[in-house]
Amino acid sequence: MSDAVAEAGPEAPAKRPFVPGRNLLGWLLASPLTVILACFLLAPIVMIVIVSFWGATEFSIYPDFQFDNYEFLFSSPVTYRVFGATLKYALITWALTLAIGFTVAYFLAFHVRSLTVQIALFLVCTIPFWTSNIIRMISWIPFLGRNGIANQTLISWGIIDEPLEWLLYSDFSVILAFVHLYTLFMVVPIFNTMMRIDKSLLEAARDNGASGFQTLVHVIIPLTKPGIMIGTIFVVTLVMGDFITVRFMSGSQRANVGRLISNDIGLLQYPSAAATAVVLLCTVLIVIAILLRFVNIRKEL
């Protein structure tokens, strides 16, 4: 008997017994969320895509199926400049928020030993979010203005002789506001990932003679990649869709895709705005798809 079992090899894993209605029950449990996503996510996107093919005059829009909006969009050099500016803002903001967010998360996760202090410092990081985004953004204007606190301080210290004009209503002020608004979206996922790192791995690295920099590069950063990727997706998508910040902090002297859509809506050119929104959505999805090729973030979700 034992020889026969040995010849048969390892036993095949037991199959789960079929329970009638199990799949039906699963679909029923998922149906409320499916209906919500279909009504509030898929349906608006489908409507935007449909409207992007409609036509428009100075006074009305009419249902049609034409590619005029996309032809005008891709044939205009303004479109490429605006998309280039949007990508520039997203890239610079991502780099700065990553540097700041990683540093803050690293300090909270590995240098603060007390859980109570960690929670307290983390709440301090969220204090700016207790007010409106517009309030936090506008608060930079009197600070960065020609007669603002920054210029007056630099003049009083003798660092400059006259006020700096580029502090406000420039790319600098736009990116500064973006970093201020969205850094926490980078801190949270990175901090969450760092807190899951087994501290024994760091001890093992030190026991094997690794320096602090080597431990950071070869242990912490690779294990933190999912959090970095989640934060990157948050920051990039938020920056590429933002238009209020660019409008206020640049004094309407700069533009991004969000402002392009806002201007079309203000002129009642809804088909043109919808076409631009579709192109922006596709661009963001392509960027996210590229990012997801590098890191599997399912274990973090």
* Domains, the chain, ordered by start: 78-300 (1.10.3720.10)
Average pLDDT over residues 38-47: 92
Average pLDDT over residues 196-218: 86
pLDDT one-digit tens code per residue, 151-168: 899 899 988 888 888 888
Average pLDDT over residues 64-89: 91
Q: What pLDDT score does 8 carry?
A: 47
- Beta-carbon count within 10 A of 208 CB: 9
Of 197 and 24, the structure prediction assigns the larger pLDDT to 197
Burial code of 50-66, b = ≥16 C-beta within 10 A, e = fewer? Answer: ebbbbebeeeebeeeee
Q: What pLDDT score does 126 carry?
A: 82
Per the rule left: phi > 0, alpha: psi between -120 and 50, beta: everything else, 16 is beta
Q: Quote the pTM value.
A: 0.83
- Which tokens is 115 given? 């859980």
Q: Is the pLDDT score of 4 beyond 60?
A: no
Mean confidence (pLDDT) of the chain: 85
What's the CA gap between 73 and 254, in Å, rounded?
19
Q: What pLDDT score does 81 carry?
A: 93
Which pLDDT band holds residue 299 (cuts at 50, 70, 90)?
Answer: low
Of 295 and 84, the structure prediction assigns the larger pLDDT to 84
Average pLDDT over residues 271-283: 93
Q: Is the pLDDT score of 125 beyond 60?
A: yes
